[in-house]
Structures are given as C-alpha cells and as structure tokens.
Structure 1
Amino acid sequence: MREVDLKRRWRPLAAVLVLCSLFTAGGTAVAAPARTANACGPVMFVLPGYQDGGAFNLLKPELAPNGANPVRIPFPNAQQDINLYADVDAGVANLRTALYNLYVKSNCDLNTKVYIVGFSLGALVAGTVLETEPPGRNIQGVLFSDGRRQSGESNWPGDPGGLIGKLPVPGPGGAGLRPLDGFKYPTLTLCNGPRSAGGADGICFLGNIADLNGYFTSHPFYTFDVGAELRAHGEGPYPNNLRNRVIP
C-alpha cells in the first residue's frame, strides 16, 4: 500500500531533514501471572510507515512468517502528526509495552518467537527497540527502508546508507547510521536500490541529494511480504546480528 499524499507531506520535510520483579517489598512471593490463552504462539509486531504505509500487506496473516500473528503497534503516524521525534518515542514506548505484556502479563516464555517489523517511520521505531531490548529472547527483526540503515556489510559496493543517519544533528530514532554491531537481535534490513524500478529509495539509500526523488518513486514500493523476504534472505543468526540487503 502506498503512503498517502507523499508529495504534499514529505517535500518540505525532506528539505528540513537535509538541512538541518517476583517479590513484594516485604519479601513475600507473588504468584506468576497466568498464561493467557493463544498469546504465546509466534507473533509479529508491526509498525507501519507514515499514514499506515505498508500496513495493508504487513498485517496479512498469509504473508507473515511461520504462522505468526500480525499485531499492529499503534503510534502517531497520521497526517496531523508532524513531530517525528515524538512520534518515534511514542512508538518505542508502545512496542516495549507490547513486549512487557507478552513476557510478563501473558507469562510467555522468553523463547516465544517474536518478529519485530517496521517500515520507514516504523523502521526507526523498530530499529531502536532492536538495538536496546535486553538480549536472551527469541526475536527476529525485519526493517524496510530504515532511514538509519548502515552503509557497510551490504551487497552493494559503495552503499551510502540512510538519510536520517547523515543529519548533522540526531534525527528521529537517534544519531548517525546504525553501528555494525548495534542490534541486539538478528535483523534483516532491506532497501530499494538504484536498479529498482523507481530508482534508489532516498530514505534508506541516499547517495546524493538527487536520490531524494526516490522517496516518491521507490520508497512506497516494497512487497512487505515478510515471510517471503525471510525465506529469500534467511533468518538469523547473522554475523553482527545484521543482514543488510539492497534490492533488487
């Protein structure tokens, strides 16, 4: 699904971006919460892009990997939401709450398979949590068009990396390109490259200012078929927890 009204919303934004416990206090044991029925099967937490970009396919159960249940994580991403920094922070808080509910309120094992998937604005949210969530859980990340996408360890020589990671000040989701060993969990990050039908995606592959045109021609066009992408590129573990692919 295309992000709606791209030109009117993002032309000024693009210019701005470029410029710029089990015990109580008394020691009494507290019973563990009861396991919630059907809560502990494979789950896929989905963070769409601006104006729900990608949500149509990302929320289709038939496109989810290994029978995972797609669950949308709400965060501000509508046309009236103009503070991208606050929007990403809200999404991070909501995704962390969903993980807390899974492991604590629903009492699911840490080995419960969890996919964290984000596109564009949602990728900045998902990527932040994949970088900061405590290790030791069975999590796989998939990012489509991450604005802080790494420039190294990809299949494209001279890969420039993402737009947000090149801002002179911290952008939404943090400062700079994500470090090679930044992810705590295996993460597949995907970006439309120069040979894509609409050219390179200007959000995740910014070689020069002209590549911002790729925001309108290439950025909205991904399969968002998470199951197929993981079959094609493999699930983790990956070296440095990163599988960085330019497509096609």
Structure 2
Amino acid sequence: MTTRFSSRRRRWFTAAAAAVACVATVLTSGAAQAAPAKQAKAAKACAPVMFVVPGWQDGGAEKLLNRSFSPQGADPVRIPYPNAITDINLYHNVDVGVANLRKALYDLYVTHGCGLDTKVYIAGFSLGALVAGTVLETEPAGRNIQGILFADGRRQPVDSNVQGDPGGLVGHLPVPGPGGAGFRAHDAFKYPTLSLCNGPNSPGGADLICYGGTNLDSYFASHPFYTFEVARELNAHGEGPYPNNLRNRVIP
C-alpha cells in the first residue's frame, strides 16, 4: 500500500514537473520572440544636420555656423575642441575633436534615435579638417553622410584638378603630424568628401596647410580666401558619390 502510494506520488510529481517545464518552455519561447520586437525601436525621421569643426581660434566658424550658408537648410552644430590661442598641442587638440565628433554622431543615431538615412554633413576647416577627415575615414558604412573639408593638411595629391599638386602639409613631414601620418590613402574616405584648397593662383597664394607646406607653424598663421559657404561649394563641385569617395579641388 505504502509502496503503491509512493510510486503513484512519484508519478504525479514527475507529470507535474513535466507540465511545469512545458509551460516554462512556452513562456520562455514567447518571451524570446517578444524581446526583439520590444527592442526594435523605430528610428525617427530627422531633419538634415551639419556638424562643424572650425579651425584654430575658430577660423571659418562665422560662416560655417550660419544656417544661411548650409546645404538643404541643415542645422549647423559646432563640435567643440581645444582650439584657443593657448591650445598649441595640435596633436591633442585633434584627438579631442575626433572624440567629440564621434560622440555627436552617436548621440544623433542612438541617443536621439535618428535614422541612418538622416542627411548629415561634416564640415571642417584647417585643424578642424584633420578632425573631420579622420572621422570621415573611420565612421562605419551605412550612413547618409557628405563631407566637405577646407584646407585639409593631409589632402592627397591624387585626383586633383591641378597637375603637379603637391598635396597637404602633413604628407611632407618626416614624422606623423596631427591627425596621422602622411597623405590620406587614395580611397581613405568611407563617405563622399569634397576637399578644397587654395592653390598658387588664389588671392593669398598657395595655402601651405593643404598645398605643399613643410612646417607646422602654418597652422598658427592665417590662411583665408575660402567662402566657407558649404551649400555654394557643393552646388559648384557637386555632392557625392565621387570616384574613391573623393573630389579633390584646388581653387580658384
């Protein structure tokens, strides 16, 4: 009697345990299927934005941050980094700018939930072009980004509209300059990038940051005669796609 009851009791517990396990499996399976749907947050449609990295002492900022000159009415957003007259460690300054620009892109896509098809312009001048150019080289693919660089110190001599173009200052240094070593690779940019540089026929002569300079002191000198009107320059030279993601223009 005791044996039969114990055996029956064991069978009941075994059946109950199996039933609980079955229910648990169903619930777990349902939760696993529901979780991705809950995590798949729809990306927002966001207006165009232009991240702006001015030069040393905010060179070019006045026009670059003026919405009247931005393409598609993009909202200009200044990327802060050390560029005051006392900030003379150019290597450190570029590193900080790169980190801040990457953070701005992260905030756009992740924190604010903007879709990857959001039109993003990344504009940089001089020291800021080294910052912007580095991010345009390294930002993961799949975004809707257009770059525009004024006086990039790592500007390639290839694909230029001027024969014998010497390229940017950093490419001529015997050691790595701010932003990296040598010229940017021919196909370095992950996104279409318009790179503009004043050549020897410009009003102020060749810009020694982006056209054959050999001395970092150029970064502490004035090299004006750019419009800094991004919309105008993109209308004149075209937005991407470009071959090798680069349109390398010497102006005028």
TM-score of the alignment, normalized to the shorter chain, above 0.5: yes
Residue number in structure 1 paired with 2:82: 76
Aligned length: 218
Q: Secondary structure at the match of 1:116?
A: strand
Q: How does the TM-score come out when normalised to structure 2?
A: 0.81
Distance 1:214 1:164, change over 3 A: closer
Residue number in structure 1 paired with 2:231: 227
Aligned partner letter, 2:52: V
Aligned partner letter, 1:185: Y
Aligned 1:232-247 pairs, distance under 5 A:
232-247=236-251
Residue number in structure 1 paired with 2:125: 119
Q: Which moved more, 1:161-170 or 1:69-78?
A: 161-170
Residue number in structure 1 paired with 2:105: 99
Q: How does the TM-score come out when normalised to structure 1?
A: 0.82
Distance 1:109 1:208, change over 3 A: closer
Match status 1:200 vs 2:206: yes
Which is helix-richer, 1 or 2?
Answer: 2
RMSD of aligned C-alpha atoms? 2.2
Aligned partner letter, 1:231: N
Q: Which runs of 5+ in 1 are unaligned?
A: 1-26
Q: Secondary structure at the match of 1:87?
A: helix
Q: Deviations over 1:93-133 (max 9, x none)?
A: 00000000000111111000000000000000000000000
Q: Deviations over 1:24-65 (max 9, x none)?
A: xxx8656466867xx821000000000000000000001000
Q: Which runs of 5+ in 2 are unaligned?
A: 1-31
Equivalents in 2 of 1:90, 1:207: separation in Å? 24
Residue number in structure 1 paired with 2:4: none
Q: Which moved more, 1:118-127 or 1:73-82?
A: 73-82
Residue number in structure 2 paired with 1:47: 53
Aligned partner letter, 1:238: Y
Residue number in structure 2 paired with 1:134: 140
Equivalents in 2 of 1:32, 1:52: separation in Å? 40
2:169 to 157, 163, 168: 163
1:187 to 185, 190, 193: 193
Distance 1:214 1:125, change over 3 A: closer
